[in-house]
Structure 1
C-alpha cells in the first residue's frame, strides 16, 4: 500500500514525508524531527528536478535522505546550542549561586572551618576561616548547600 502511494505521488512523496515529520515535531517536541523533515523536503526538491533521470532510483534517494538527515541534525544541533539567549534569571534554580557577593552576619562562629549564617529566612552552612559569631562576612562561592565566606 505504501509503495503504491509512493509511486502514485512520485516526487511529491518526499514532500509529504517531510511535512508529516514537521507536524510530528509538534507532538514530540525536542527539535529533532525538524531536521529529519527538512532533509526529506530537500530530497523532495531534488526529486522534482531529477525524477525522470535514470540514475534517480529509490536507493539513491534513500541514501541522500539518510546523509542529509544526519548532516541536518548535526548542523541543527550546533545552531540551536550556539544561539541560546541569555536568561534574565540565570540563577533561577540555583539559589545558593545567586547568593555569591552578598554579605551577612555569622549566627554561629566558624570553628574548624564550619559555621552558619542567616540570609533572609534561611540558615546556611558556611565554610571559611575561624571567626567569632557576629562577624560580617561576604559570600565568595557556593558549592551545593555550602557557602564559602570570608570576612568583610
Structure 2
C-alpha cells in the first residue's frame, strides 16, 4: 500500500482533481469542487517541488481545510446581490407602508387601487374614490389599507 502512495506524482493529483470536479457536475453540492481544487493545487505545487507522499497528503488536507473559509467568503459575497433588492420575490411586502389613491371606492370593505400598471384589490374601511390610503398589510394578492 505504501508503495502505491510513494508513486503519487503531479499527474495523479491533477487527474484526481479533474475527476472530483467532474463528479461535482454529476452531483452538484459545491463540496467536491473544493476538494478537486485542493487536489489541483497539490498537483501544481508538485510541479515546482517534488515532495514525498506524506507531504502531498498533508498539503491536500491543508488546502481542503483552507477551502472551507474560502467557500464561505464566496458564498457570502454572492448573497449581496439579493441584499440590494430584498423584496425581489415578495412584491406585496414592498408595498407595506406606501400610500396610494383609491381608483374605485371601498364599499363594504372592498375596493381597488392602481399601483404602477396593476390594479390591486384592497380591503379596509369604506372610503370614496380618490382618497389616499396607506397599505398596512399584504395577504397574497390582496392589500389591507387604512386612511392615510
SS of the counterpart of 2:106?
strand
1:122 Cα offset (Å): 5.4
1:21 aligns with 2:17: no
1:63 is matched with which residue? 58
1:82 aligns with 2:77: yes
Q: CA RMSD in A?
A: 3.7
CA contact under 8 A between 2:20 and 2:35: conserved in structure 1?
yes
Give the Cα separation in 2 of the matches to 1:148 and 1:63.
62
**Mind listing any 5+ residue stretches in structure 1 that lack a counterpart?**
110-114
TM-score, with structure 2 as normaliser? 0.62
TM-score, with structure 1 as normaliser? 0.61
Give the Cα separation in 2 of the matches to 1:81 and 1:102.
35
SS of the counterpart of 1:138?
strand
Cα pair distance change 1:95/1:63, threshold 3 Å: same
Alignment of 1:89-104 (within 5 A): 91-100=87-96, 101=98, 103=100
Tell me how many residue pairs correspond in the alignment: 136
**Mind listing any 5+ residue stretches in structure 2 that lack a counterpart?**
none
Larger deviation: 89-98 or 63-72?
89-98
Moved over 6 A (4+): none
Alignment of 1:131-146 (within 5 A): 131-134=125-128, 135-139=131-135, 145=140
Cα pair distance change 1:64/1:10, threshold 3 Å: closer
CA contact under 8 A between 1:116 and 1:123: conserved in structure 2?
yes
